[in-house]
Structure 1
Amino acid sequence: MSKGTFVSEHESHFTVWGFIKGFAKLVIGFLLVLQGLIGLIILLLFVGVLVQVTNGIAGSNDPVSISIPKDAALVLDPNGVLVEIAEDINPLDVLREEAYGMSEPSQIEVHDVVKAIRAAKDDKRIKGLVLDLGALGASPSSASKLHYLADEIDAFKESGKKVIAVGDYYSQDQYLLASHADEIYMNDYGNLLIYGYGSYGTYLKSFLEKLKITTHVFRVGTFKSAVEPFIRDDMSPAAKEANIAYLSVLWNKYTQSVEGARGLAPGTVEDYANNMGAIMKTVDGDFGKAALETGLVDGLMSRADMNEKLMEAFGKSKDGKSFKKVGFKRYLTSLDDDDDTSAPNIAVITAAGTIIDGEAPTGRAAGGDSIAAQLRKAREDDKVKAVVLRIDSPGGSAFAADIMRDEILALKAAGKPVVASMGSLAASGGYWIAADADEIWAAPTTITGSIGIFGYFNTFENAAAELGVFVDGVGTTDLSPILATGIGPLPSSAADIIQQSTENGYDRFLTVVGNGRSLEKDYVDSIGQGRVWIGERAIELKLVDHLGDFDKAIEAAAKLAKLEKYDVVDMKEKRTTFEIFMGNLSTTALKALGGDEAKRNDSAVAKLVRAAEEKAEFFEEFNDPNAAYARCLACE
């Protein structure tokens, strides 16, 4: 035996023993992990049983009993982003986000806020309303939701109860609501910045060219600007024309609402926005004084002084340190759910978010199969006599939109009226699913239209060639080279096929709208071409039938179904917290085993990770089987 291969008996024994010890540690480690997982599952099952038993005893639909002081104020302090319908929250996700510094803003359903305000109006225990809106957010396209809430605040004031707004500062959106209060107070070092509405994008044409990335765009419509960021370095004149038209209406409605509520002269708000620099010079650069002098707020004071002001209005709490109050969330949990009696039902089905093919969780996206299943459920339920389809979507997959449309047509064929109620946004694919409704209702500030189709993707053959990477091979047909598309180029024959499919999709869209709205196809094309319209203009163009909120749409459905007494029911299947908890347990456990998130404890890193996840989720929404999209990216 050579020296190089000689191993002593001691060394051989040591090596074998080391292997045995290492293997034993691996097995023990695995068993410990398994034990921990089994223990966690047993604990969750135990907690779930307790929850279910408790709900069974107390009645899962019973409101929570809370103590509300006499003459208390309802503090409207929603903490999150205003949405049409919130997605189910997985408690495990909440714990994970808190542990790794990845918390996201919660979602606040606009109808929950309305429910609380309406209940408080007639609640003898509630003396008034305090608007504390510092944690409320709204997307740029959520104007109609804010106006809906502003109208509810005005209706609340009709009861004679006072409304007071307080805040360290006010964003433009928050101030729209605050302006409808009887009194507005702001921190003496706060600010109120009003800047109007705008539409600005990042344009990548030159950037993509520098990287030698080839852009392939397939579209129909002069105004279908969704793909402009990839084929231009600026906004096209057509897009500017369309965008400024609907933005101007949003701005006019905003200024009219604020000036009307505050009793200000027309033009005051626009002057404040356009001449902020000059106004600031008159008050030595003090934001608070600028707002006060313009008449946008009634007083500037510290938090302590605001608290004193509220104690004067509503009385002191038991400890004497604050005013008598009940918070928004606590008050909401005390309210009764709407009962489903023996009366006929009007079903509400909400399509909120991007329309995608397949199924999707409520509130995250409008899955074609998910919404279609709810429509089918309403059709098959003999108690349901009419349907209100609530839409708050920029569109998305044309295929998924058509799947929903088939169920809408089936509902109508079954003799059940369908009323489309547009929220803040019902554009492109969102309009596709509305077109066949018996009636379409929209808010004056609803963003709609965008009747057009597009397809888009990139190939990297030139960038790859720069790095010395090439694709080559053989195929049996003229279309076989499409298998190499990506690193390889897009065959011209394939590009021609995709463009023809896109044009067919647009023609289909025109036909859907023409048939649904009883309009000539040429006329639909003239107002289509991908152009965005605002609600009050859409009614003139015959794209909608009436202007009105969600409640008006419900009344319209009842009228079409000839119902005097009815219950409004949501077709969405409600899941308990425990069901959500357990439904996501397996996925969470698998992620935990991978250990890929154990080091995400730096907030900056967490933000980058979340940004990357959001971008990935954005691209995952483009899953149409025909790669044809009826989506208004400019509206989002």
Structure 2
Amino acid sequence: MKQFFKFMLASMAGFTLTIIIVFFLLIGLIASLLSFAEQDVEPIGENTVLYINLNQTIYDRGSNSPLNSMDLFSLKPSRQLGLNEILESIYYAKQDSNIDGIYLELSSIPAGISTIEEIRNALIEFKKSGKFVISYSEYMTQSAYYLASVSDKIYHNPEGIFLFKGLSAQVMYYKGLLEKLDVEAQVIKHGDYKSAVEPYLRKSMSKENEEQTQNYLDDVWDHMLANIAQSRDTDTESLNKAAEGLIIQSLDKAIDHKLIDGLKYRDEILSEIKELLGIGSKDDINSVSLSKYSLLPKPSLNSGRDKIAVIYGTGTIMAGSGDDQTMGSARVSRAIRKARLDKRVKAIVFRVNSGGGDVVASEVIRREIELAAQAKPVIASFGDYAASGGYWVSCGATEIMASPVTLTGSIGVYAIFPNLNGLLNDKIGLSFDEVKTNKYADFYTGTRSLSAYEKNLLTNNVEKTYDTFLELVANGRDMKKTDVNAIAGGRIWSGIDAKSLGLIDSYGGLTAAINRAIDLADLDTYRIIELPEQKDPIEQFIEDWTNAKANSRIKEELGPLTRYIQPLKSLTEMKGVQVRLPFEITIE
């Protein structure tokens, strides 16, 4: 026995020592990463080219953590820029006498069409300085081409692939999967166009969903064609005919239709850039990547004591704190309240990029926007999506701005309650028994079907919430409730339609919204602050490491099956009444 305790104590001591060593090693690693990531970037010299390759997901807001500059697994520099940083960098590059031009190297851009539109507009402004923009690609999606189309010259690798084929939207339906798993999706909704629940109930699109999706795609495609035609000195009719017949399926055809300027290898592009810079063929090109340029100290135009607060509301709306990629009601409402109570904040820009979520969380945020708008100008700036709950939280703003291709509207409500009894009992072998004090004490447990009485209660709740939604929009947008109802019903709209229907006030992206806030506040000098506050770098590092490792392990084990697990996860996470977008559209 004595030997046993000695062995146990030795093991405990060894374990404790290991934990201590690992702890200090982790602290040392983080300190080293912080030191490396915060190293000053060397200033750029004359005749420098700004190199832009947008191959990482673009969120509205970049991270202020120096650890964001590092890949958590390889520990190599890998900075993920936010749209705010990209726009700011292009703006300063226009004025920077050391920057002579921009070299775009594009293939696929993991961002929504409104985000790409904002970057495209920033490049158009950059070109007004007389500086060049040249693009090169080995393979280019249509969204990447849309961005590249503003370039002075567009070149493609001779062996690359180029397709100009129009837009399509594909929706995944889960009803067949749920039937195989014996899961019953119990749905109550208001709005014929509120198709967020369709994947759980159908195996194909309803005519209403097909109609609204087709109209949205048509608006986006027409807008893209008009801008491409203007930039490339051609006409929309010939471009659309070419897409309709899949005529442009080769690089030669792309040249014939003025979509690209020629076929060149990368070294030939660099030689052309040297000529534009006026340097010798054997000289090196001074270049700086967008990620490094964003870290350079720039002459700030922001000064003075007065402030414009830019508040980011991104992702699914939910109760609690959330994070940088979700709109937690506690965190976002606290940020709005802070900006409202700060007397030096003269106006607020509420940047919304959300397809909605929990209705109570949405109302918590909307109320703070309403209170803020009573105290100072509040501009709601819509990104790729500002629909359903995303519109709910914004409708009380002083003004609403959006891109012509923003997906908005979806003023509708639903509730979904999965019955997992068939899956758990018949498929897995789990059974349930219970004792209760009252008849409906087991409402809602997820292990039985709803009774007629329970469905009636939920229907009344959904109808009441929908009526509230209509009233909030009518009051916020100064419209009649009947007029709001006529364009609601869960229907999605493009920014183009939303403007004509009165759901938004004007077109414009994040930069335009900030400028509008400055005008309404009548400021000559100001500085911009961004809210909510981002997490402590060390806390964010540990969280990112843990989440990334877990997600990587799941994807490694399940492979392509991962995408089929998401619907079940989403189904079980939906609690109470929801105001969510039916789907997300990615334009490739």
TM-score normalized with structure 2 length: 0.89
In the alignment, what sits opposite 1:300? Answer: 263
1:453 Cα deviation (Å)? Answer: 0.9
Paired with 1:562 and 1:600, the residues of 2 have a C-alpha distance of: 49
Partner of 1:360: 322
Name the SS of the counterpart of 1:633 in structure 2. Answer: coil
Query: What per-residue deviation string (whole Å, max 9, x for no partner) do you get for residues 50-72 of structure 1?
Result: 79xx98xx9xxxxx453423222
Q: Is the 8 A contact 1:264 1:295 kept in 2?
A: yes
Aligned to 1:422: 382
For residues 129-171 of structure 1, the C-alpha deviation after alignment (integer angstroms, 9 at most, x for no partner) is 111123x5234xx222222222222222222222111121211
Whole-Å Cα distance in 2 between the matches of residues 149 and 65 of structure 1? 24
**Structure 1 pair 89–353 and aligned structure 2 pair: CA distance change class (3 A):** farther
Distance 2:431 2:551 in 1: 38
How do residues 85-164 of structure 1 correspond to structure 2 at under 5 angstroms?
85-86=61-62, 91=67, 96-98=72-74, 107-134=80-107, 137-139=109-111, 142-164=112-134
Alignment match, 2:394: 434
SS in 1 for 2:349: strand
Distance 1:104 1:628, change over 3 A: farther
SS at match of 2:443: helix
**Contact conserved, 2:57 with 2:109, CA < 8 A, in 1?**
yes
Corresponding residue for residue 338 of structure 2: 377
Q: Distance in 2 between matches of 1:437 and 1:512?
A: 11
Distance verdict in 2 for CA 1:401–1:67, change over 3 Å: same
Give the secondary structure class of the aligned counterpart of 1:119.
helix
Tell me by how many angstroms 1:107 deviates.
Answer: 4.2
> Sequence identity, in percent?
28
Tell me the alpha carbon deviations over residues 166-192 of structure 1, each in whole angstroms, 9 at most, x when there is no partner: 121211111111111111111000112
Counterpart position of 1:506: 466
Cα offset, 1:87, TM superposition:
5.2
Secondary structure in 1 matching 2:309 = strand
In the alignment, structure 2 segments of 5+ residues that lack a partner are none
Letter in 1 for 2:577: A
Which residue is equivalent to 1:459? 419
Structure 1 residue 47: deviation in Å?
5.0
Q: What is the TM-score normalised by the length of structure 1?
A: 0.83
What is the alpha-carbon distance in structure 2 between the residues aligned to residue 310 and residue 482 of structure 1? 68
8 Å CA contact 2:373, 2:396 repeated in 1: no
Letter in 2 for 1:347: A
Which amino acid is 1:630 matched to? V
> How many angstroms does 1:208 deviate by?
2.4
Pairing 1:486–2:443 present = no
> Shift in Å at residue 469 of structure 1?
5.0
Give the aligned partner of residue 630 of structure 1: 579
Rounded to whole Å, the distance in 2 between the matches of 1:619 and 1:189 is 45
CA distance in 1, matches of 2:9, 2:91: 66
User: Does the 8 A contact of 1:81 with 1:105 survive in 2?
Assistant: no
Q: Structure 2 vs 1, CA of residues 403 and 601 (structure 1 numbering), >3 Å: closer, same or farther?
A: closer
Instruction: Kindly provide the amino acid, as one letter, of the partner of residue 354 in structure 2.
Output: S
Q: Compared with structure 1, are the counterparts of its residues 209 and 617 closer, same or farther at alpha carbon in structure 2 (3 Å cutoff)?
A: closer
Q: Which residue of 1 aligns with 2:162?
A: 192
C-alpha distance in 2, partners of 1:279/1:45? 51
Unaligned 5+ runs, structure 1: 1-15, 59-63, 281-286
SS in 2 for 1:191: strand
In 2, Cα distance between equivalents of 1:332 and 1:600:
29
Q: C-alpha separation between the residues in 1 aligned to 2:513 and 2:77? A: 33
Structure 1 contact 470–487 (Cα < 8 Å) conserved? no
Q: Distance in 1 between matches of 2:348 and 2:544?
A: 37
Aligned partners of 2:47 and 2:98 also within 8 Å:
yes
Change (3 A) 1:581 1:617: farther
In structure 1, distance between residues paired with 2:188 and 2:553: 43
Farther-moved stretch of structure 1 (236-245 vs 168-177): 168-177
- Give the greater-gyration-radius structure (CA): 1
Amino acid at match of 1:519: M
Which moves more between the two structures, 157-166 or 565-574?
565-574
Q: Is the 8 A contact 1:167 1:186 kept in 2?
A: yes
Relative to 1, partners in 2 of residues 1:610 and 1:124: Cα closer, same or farther, differing over 3 Å? farther
Distance in 1 (CA, whole Å) between partners of 2:178 and 2:255 is 49
Mapped contact 1:600–1:606 kept (Cα < 8 A):
no
One of 196, 209, 225 as aligned partner of 1:226: 196
Equivalence for 1:403: 364
What is the CA deviation profile of residues 317-336 of structure 1, one whole-angstrom value per residue up to 9, with x for unaligned ones?
9x947533222122221142
CA deviations on 1:267-301 (whole Å, 9 max, x unpaired) are: 2332332222x555xxxxxx322322322111112
What displacement does 1:451 show? 0.3
CA RMSD in angstroms comes to 3.5
1:129, 1:163 within 8 Å by CA — same for their partners in 2? yes
* Alignment pair present for 1:532 and 2:492: yes
The one-letter amino acid paired with 1:431 is: Y
Q: Matches of 1:583 and 1:143 in 2, distance apart? A: 29
3-state SS of 2:360 partner: helix
Identify if the C-alpha distance between structure 1 residues 107 and 398 changes in structure 2 by more than 3 Å, giving closer, same or farther: farther
Contact 2:303 2:525 in 1 (8 A): no
Which secondary structure does the structure 1 equivalent of 2:293 belong to?
A: helix
CA distance in 1, matches of 2:561, 2:180: 27
Greater shift after overlay, 106-115 or 122-131? 106-115
Question: Partner residue of 2:55?
Answer: 79
CA deviation string 1:181-211 (max 9, x = no partner): 1111110001122332222112232442343
Query: Could you tell me which residue of structure 1 aligns to residue 140 of structure 2?
Result: 170
Which residue in 2 is equivalent to 1:4? none
On the 8 A contact 1:389/1:420 being kept in 2, the answer is yes
Question: Per the alignment, do residues 97 and 633 of structure 1 end up closer, same or farther by CA in structure 2, a change over 3 Å counting?
Answer: farther
Residue 20 (structure 2) aligns with: 35
1:550-569 → structure 2 map (5 Å cutoff):
550-569=510-529
Aligned partners of 1:79 and 1:108 also within 8 Å: no
Aligned to 1:23: 8
Question: Cα distance 1:324–1:610, how it changes in 2: closer, same or farther (>3 A)?
Answer: farther
CA distance in 2, matches of 1:233, 1:563: 54
Local SS of the residue matching 1:203: coil
Shift of 1:609: 9.7
Are the counterparts in 1 of residues 347 and 376 from structure 2 also a CA contact under 8 Å? Answer: yes
Which residue of structure 1 lines up, in the alignment, with residue 308 of structure 2? 346
- 2:298 corresponds to: 336
Which of 206, 210, 220 is residue 240 of structure 1 equivalent to?
210
State how far apart, in whole Å, the 1-side matches of 2:264 and 2:310 are.
45
**Could you say which residue in structure 1 is the equivalent of 2:509?**
549
Distance 1:271 1:181 in 2: 23
Aligned partner of 2:358: which letter? S
Q: Is the 8 A contact 2:418 2:571 kept in 1?
A: no
User: Which letter does structure 1 place at the counterpart of 2:161?
Assistant: N
CA distance in 1, matches of 2:540, 2:227: 44
Q: Is the 8 A contact 1:199 1:634 kept in 2?
A: no
CA distance in structure 2 between the partners assigned to 1:454 and 1:45 by the alignment: 45
Q: Which amino acid aligns with 1:209?
A: E
Specify the SS of the correspondent of 1:502.
Answer: helix
Task: State the Cα distance separating 1:528 from its structure 2 match.
Answer: 0.5
Distance 1:236 1:386, change over 3 A: same
Any idea what SS the aligned residue of 1:435 has?
coil
Match of 2:538 in 1: 581
CA deviation string 1:19-71 (max 9, x = no partner): 467535632541342232332255268659979xx98xx9xxxxx45342322
